[in-house]
Amino acid sequence: MAWLRAGSCLAKLATRNRCFHTTVLRSKPSGPVPRSVPLSRLSDSFLDGTSSVYLEELQRTWESDPNSVDESWDNFFRNFVSHAASSPGISGQTIQESMKLLLLVRAYQFHGHMKARLDPLGLEQREVPDDLDPGFYGFNESDLDREFFLGVWRMSGFLSENRPVQTLRAILTRLEQAYCGSIGYEYMHIANRDQCNWLRDKIETPSPMAYDSQRRQVILSRLIWSTQFENFLATKWTAAKRFGLEGGETLIPGMKEMFDRSADLGVENIVIGMSHRGRLNVLGNVVRKPLRQIFSEFSGGTKPVDDIGLYTGTGDVKYHLGTSYDRPTRGGKHIHLSLVANPSHLEAVDPVVIGKTRAKQYYSNDVGRTKNMGILIHGDGSFAGQGVVYETLHMSGLPSYTTGGTIHIVVNNQVAFTTDPKSGRSSQYCTDVAKALDAPIFHVNGDDVEAVVHACELAAEWRQTFHSDVVVDITCYRRFGHNEIDEPFFTQPKMYKVIRSHPSALEMYQKQLLETGQVTKEDIDRIQNKVLSILNEEFVASKDYVTKRRDWLSNYWLGFKSPEQLSRIRNTGVQHEILKNVGKTITTLPENFNAHRAAKKIFADRLKMIETGEGVDWAVAEVLAFATLLVEGNHVRLSGQDVERGTFSHRHSVIHDQVTGERYCPLDHVMKNQNQEMFTVSNSSLSEFGVLGFELGYSMENPNSLVLWEAQFGDFSNGAQVMFDQFLSSGEAKWLRQTGLVLLLPHGYDGQGPEHSSARLERFLQMSDDNPFVIPEMEPTLRTQIQTCNWQVVNVTTPANYFHVLRRQLHREFRKPLIVMSPKNLLRHKECKSNLSEFDDAEGHPGYDKQGTRFKRLIKDQNGHLDLEEGIRRLVFCSGKVYYELDEQRKSVDGKDVAICRVEQLCPFPYDLIQRELKRYPNAEIVWCQEEPMNMGAYAYIAPRLATAMKAVERGSIQDIKYVGRGPSAATATGFYGVHVKEHSELVQKAMQPDPITTPALA
């Protein structure tokens, strides 16, 4: 069949200049009739093999033996023969002609969009494929009024059974109407026959957009709102940046009608993500953020105040803010809309919206995923250019990430800042990436408001019918520059010359409705005046408007504390019986389950740890944290690459039956009749940006959930850097939104080379906002240090401490992101074990401090516990697994006069505990030891804070901090194992050397 495919490529290349509105019949080519079948584009099985030659051959075969051809072909030939015999008009028609006509119809279904009138400016230079030309198949003028038999296909729409015989003229008119009007449909790439038929049915119906005059008035009014809103802002704040929607105003009626239709079809909640363009218009007109609030923000905006707390954060520019409201719909229902706050990084909000939508589905038990829906609005440049678009699309069908379909709307103004599409993408359409998902794509001329409304409604119907993604590409233009103070003539002079004299979509629609008598001039004036007077009223009211913070916090967050409101520190130990009980469940596999031999052993060992209460390892600590949180009624969700088994083969949260392949997840069974999603562990797609963004959005919905994302190795998380910079570290400050998301980033120097050693701890610490020179209130009953800091960074060294730091995430009245430098070789380290008694809350047990059992921000030296240890000559502060290596070296040199303190929580800095240790060892040389190079790791973060602590207790200054660690380096680690070992032994030896350390401190 290779030759057929080659033929189809030729057909694809053979194109001619586009010709709108009319179909020009070309005379039959004089040379050999080209192969007319773009085979690769035919997806219905019936047409799986065809060409002129092939068809003739097939017909001959059928004539000699009808059973020798496929049933569908047999059907066709039989029908044709019987119609030809009974219908005088087609008696002269050959089977070949009929089949060519069929190909013409198919060509329109495939390529009709290439001829659709999509560009409001008419500047688009597109080639229309030859296969849309009847002459290409040998038809000419004289054939126009002949009747043809189209066949009887198991197909919807045009080629369905009810009208198999039509004139060529009628066929062409209908094809042009259906496929080459203001909407170009791309759907023939979809492999699913039912979906194609569903769309054909909708597209090929004779009058798809029959709106009555009442409906048209609603559409008109919505378009007036959209247009007037931008005009109003433009007149009141002439030089303010607002990234206006002018040129794409039909987005608003489109969205509103889409939401109304969705509500009719059962949607109750919509989460919206969008960037700058038209965001204010969407906020005001679609989400219904009070106009007075928007206007107040324009006038400089007051910092929000709150009757409960004073925390206002840093705020954000107006076109990034989010909000949420209940909005009545045309059909008399209500729909809840939330627009997620987003940073300027285009498309970064996409996965966040989808994650939040998925969480809403979980919490509302929306198992069919029909009540909660995500909508993403994109720009043409960013949709084509940003990789996270694909990462987000790609999650849409994954069981743990699907939301039952997202509707994508592209505000395709045919320019990205100053960049033309030809420099911005290699594909024909900016939406081509969505074809990878088999999503239908509706390209629509943004000047035709009814077509926009129709495409938007169709998208809503598709989503509720097929529960998968769909794209509406509104081809429009940008009336002004990229923003209101930008000059577009510098770079797009020709386009803007056309735009200057181009009437607005509203002007065109008003004219159309007046001409057809659908509305009167008075109707229009009435609506215009009403809108203007409301805008003016709101403007006046905006002067006294006082923003309330938490405007968009959902009910789940009621009672949660802002950074100024003191939240009690709670213990996180768990009753011994509960630990034993859940411990049994999570270490027991069902009878007759054929687990892998090694997995059986792991589970048996785990059971032993629970039974004896000794030697609890990292994986068991984690599973105990999850299980106890579940028992307390929380939702736990862990995702990332290979997290089910664990990259280091340590977790085994899902066990696979070696005979049946069946899966068993012990944590699904810690409670009776447990909802299967209550504990979710899921391997993810190989994406960091997208998946982390998804989990972040998920975590923001409901605080009673522990949501974790684990990087394969910590360094890979830099693929999600935008999420750290723009959302995780600064989201609360900018948008007053909290999240307790946990990041597990495997980190540690064990000779695995530059990329697998470092999770780039320094970057997380550098983004921490605790003041290095000011010791905050550290008194336990008054301490808000951790609430006022933007996030927590820990490098934990014991299983019990890991258990407590995870549980602490939920046992508090606020939420903070938690960055965990998680271990690799500690997972199996013989010393890295805890006793079960460190997990429980029994007084007197090893984990029990003065206050009870909780996370230890600092672990003091294991040897001397007196309040004053004057004989200690060196105090080594460190963090993470290097502790075990230092301790081993200390043992080997019998360094009893060296104390080693583990800073388990680096950020916020545990000033109180550090000072306690400084006081305990008054004569000790103070050392910071790390395994990372000097320009990496925690050194730069620790030094000024340690110095501040030292100064306060008169233990010296920054000059007195001695550094032990690797030297400065460009790469995070050496690639040579031998060098690693050498560096490592030098490091630990130096930390324990008898002589004072001379390495200069960070000055």
Ligand X SMILES: Cc1ncc(C[n+]2csc(CCOP(=O)(O)OP(=O)(O)O)c2C)c(N)n1
The C-alpha atoms of residue 470 and residue 435 are separated, in whole angstroms, by 10
Whose Cβ is closer to Mg ion: residue 30's or residue 423's? 423
From the list ligand X, Mg ion, none, which binds 460 (C-beta under 5 to 8 Å, kind-based)?
Answer: none
From the list ligand X, Mg ion, none, which binds 344 (C-beta under 5 to 8 Å, kind-based)?
Answer: ligand X
Three-class secondary structure assignment of 334-366: EEEEEECCCCCCCCCHHHHHHHHHHHHHHHCCC
Whose Cβ is closer to ligand X: residue 17's or residue 423's? 423
Buried b (16+ CB within 10 A) or exposed e, 330-356: eeeeebbbbbbbbbebbbbbbbbbbbb
Pair of tokens at residue 602: 């792991």
Pick one of 253, 322, 379, 404: the residue that binds Mg ion (CB under 5 A).
379
Residue closest to 265 by CA, chosen among 193, 330, 218, 199: 330
Q: What single DSSP character describes residue 783?
A: -
| Least gap, CB of 478 to Mg ion (angstroms) | 7
| Least gap, CB of 433 to ligand X (angstroms) | 13
Which residues does 677 contact at the CB level (< 8 Å), separation at least 6?
Answer: 362, 635
Whose Cβ is closer to Mg ion: residue 247's or residue 405's? 247
Buried b (16+ CB within 10 A) or exposed e, 269-304: bbbbbbbbbbbbbbbbbbbebbbbbbbbbbeebeeb
Spatial contact of 474 and 411, defined as CB atoms under 8 Å apart: yes
| Least gap, CB of 975 to ligand X (angstroms) | 32
The C-alpha atoms of residue 932 and residue 581 are separated, in whole angstroms, by 41
Whose Cβ is closer to ligand X: residue 181's or residue 381's? 381
Amino acid at 878: C
Whose Cβ is closer to ligand X: residue 344's or residue 892's? 344
Give the other-Cβ count within 10 Å of 32's Cβ: 7
Whose Cβ is closer to ligand X: residue 93's or residue 275's? 275
From the list ligand X, Mg ion, none, which binds 382 (C-beta under 5 to 8 Å, kind-based)?
Answer: ligand X
Whose Cβ is closer to Mg ion: residue 430's or residue 991's? 430
H/E element holding 179? Answer: helix 168-179
Whose Cβ is closer to Mg ion: residue 101's or residue 499's? 499
Whose Cβ is closer to ligand X: residue 216's or residue 734's? 734
| Least gap, CB of 390 to ligand X (angstroms) | 14
Q: Interface with ligand X by CB under 6 A: which residues?
A: 277, 344-346, 379-382, 411, 413, 415-417, 478, 482
| Least gap, CB of 275 to ligand X (angstroms) | 7
Three-class secondary structure of residue 181 per DSSP? coil
In this structure, the strands spanning 323-328 and 269-274 are unpaired
| Least gap, CB of 475 to Mg ion (angstroms) | 11
Give the other-Cβ count within 10 Å of 968's Cβ: 9
Q: In a 10 Å sphere around its CB, with 0-12 CB exposed, 13-18 middle and 19+ buried, how is residue 228 labelled?
A: buried
In this structure, the strands spanning 165-167 and 147-149 are antiparallel
Spatial contact of 251 and 226, defined as CB atoms under 8 Å apart: yes
From the list Mg ion, ligand X, none, which binds 431 (C-beta under 5 to 8 Å, kind-based)?
Answer: none
Whose Cβ is closer to ligand X: residue 414's or residue 797's? 414
Q: At what angle do helices 449-466 and 505-515 cross, to 10 degrees?
A: 100
| Least gap, CB of 278 to Mg ion (angstroms) | 11
The C-alpha atoms of residue 587 and residue 632 are separated, in whole angstroms, by 19
Residue closest to 356 by CA, chosen among 705, 625, 641: 705
From the list Mg ion, ligand X, none, which binds 253 (C-beta under 5 to 8 Å, kind-based)?
Answer: none
Whose Cβ is closer to ligand X: residue 344's or residue 675's? 344
From the list ligand X, Mg ion, none, which binds 345 (C-beta under 5 to 8 Å, kind-based)?
Answer: ligand X
| Least gap, CB of 377 to ligand X (angstroms) | 10
Three-class secondary structure assignment of 931-984: EEECCCCCHHHHHHHHHHHHHHCCCCCHHHEEEEEECCCCCCCCCCHHHHHHHH
What torsion, rounded to 10 degrees, do the Cα atoms 11, 12, 13, 14 define?
50
Give the other-Cβ count within 10 Å of 134's Cβ: 24
Spatial contact of 694 and 729, defined as CB atoms under 8 Å apart: no
Residue closest to 907 by CA, chosen among 821, 806, 792: 792
Annotate each residue in 325-364 with x if it binds Mg ion (CB under 5 A) or - if it does not, as one string: ----------------------------------------
Residues touching Mg ion, count (CB under 5 A)? 5
Question: Is 741 one of the binding residues for Mg ion (CB under 5 A)?
Answer: no
| Least gap, CB of 482 to ligand X (angstroms) | 6
Whose Cβ is closer to ligand X: residue 415's or residue 938's? 415
| Least gap, CB of 45 to ligand X (angstroms) | 39
Residue closest to 477 by CA, chosen among 491, 455, 495, 497: 495
Whose Cβ is closer to Mg ion: residue 227's or residue 475's? 475
Pair of tokens at residue 592: 């007759």
Give the other-Cβ count within 10 Å of 141's Cβ: 12
Whose Cβ is closer to ligand X: residue 229's or residue 941's? 229
Spatial contact of 499 and 127, defined as CB atoms under 8 Å apart: no
From the list ligand X, Mg ion, none, which binds 833 (C-beta under 5 to 8 Å, kind-based)?
Answer: none
Question: Is 475 one of the binding residues for Mg ion (CB under 5 A)?
Answer: no
From the list Mg ion, ligand X, none, which binds 277 (C-beta under 5 to 8 Å, kind-based)?
Answer: ligand X
Which residues does 267 contact at the CB level (< 8 Å), separation at least 6?
Answer: 259, 335, 370, 371, 372, 373, 460, 464
Residue closest to 691 by CA, chosen among 895, 480, 388, 938: 388
Whose Cβ is closer to Mg ion: residue 97's or residue 350's? 350
| Least gap, CB of 689 to ligand X (angstroms) | 11
Whose Cβ is closer to ligand X: residue 375's or residue 519's? 375
Footprint (CB under 5 A) of Mg ion, residues 92-121 = none
| Least gap, CB of 463 to Mg ion (angstroms) | 24
Residue closest to 869 by CA, chosen among 903, 900, 911: 900
Question: Is 380 one of the binding residues for Mg ion (CB under 5 A)?
Answer: yes
Question: Is 693 one of the binding residues for Mg ion (CB under 5 A)?
Answer: no
| Least gap, CB of 249 to ligand X (angstroms) | 13
| Least gap, CB of 250 to ligand X (angstroms) | 14
- Residue sitting closest to ligand X (CB): 379
In this structure, the strands spanning 269-274 and 372-379 are parallel
From the list Mg ion, ligand X, none, which binds 172 (C-beta under 5 to 8 Å, kind-based)?
Answer: none
| Least gap, CB of 956 to ligand X (angstroms) | 46
Annotate each residue in 411-430 with x if it binds Mg ion (CB under 5 A) or - if it does not, as one string: --x--x--------------
From the list ligand X, Mg ion, none, which binds 346 (C-beta under 5 to 8 Å, kind-based)?
Answer: ligand X
| Least gap, CB of 491 to ligand X (angstroms) | 12
Whose Cβ is closer to ligand X: residue 377's or residue 942's? 377
| Least gap, CB of 411 to ligand X (angstroms) | 6
Pair of tokens at residue 283: 């906020």
Residue closest to 707 by CA, chosen among 352, 390, 404: 352
From the list Mg ion, ligand X, none, which binds 417 (C-beta under 5 to 8 Å, kind-based)?
Answer: ligand X
Please give the residue ranges that form the binding site for Mg ion (CB under 5 A).
Answer: 379-381, 413, 416
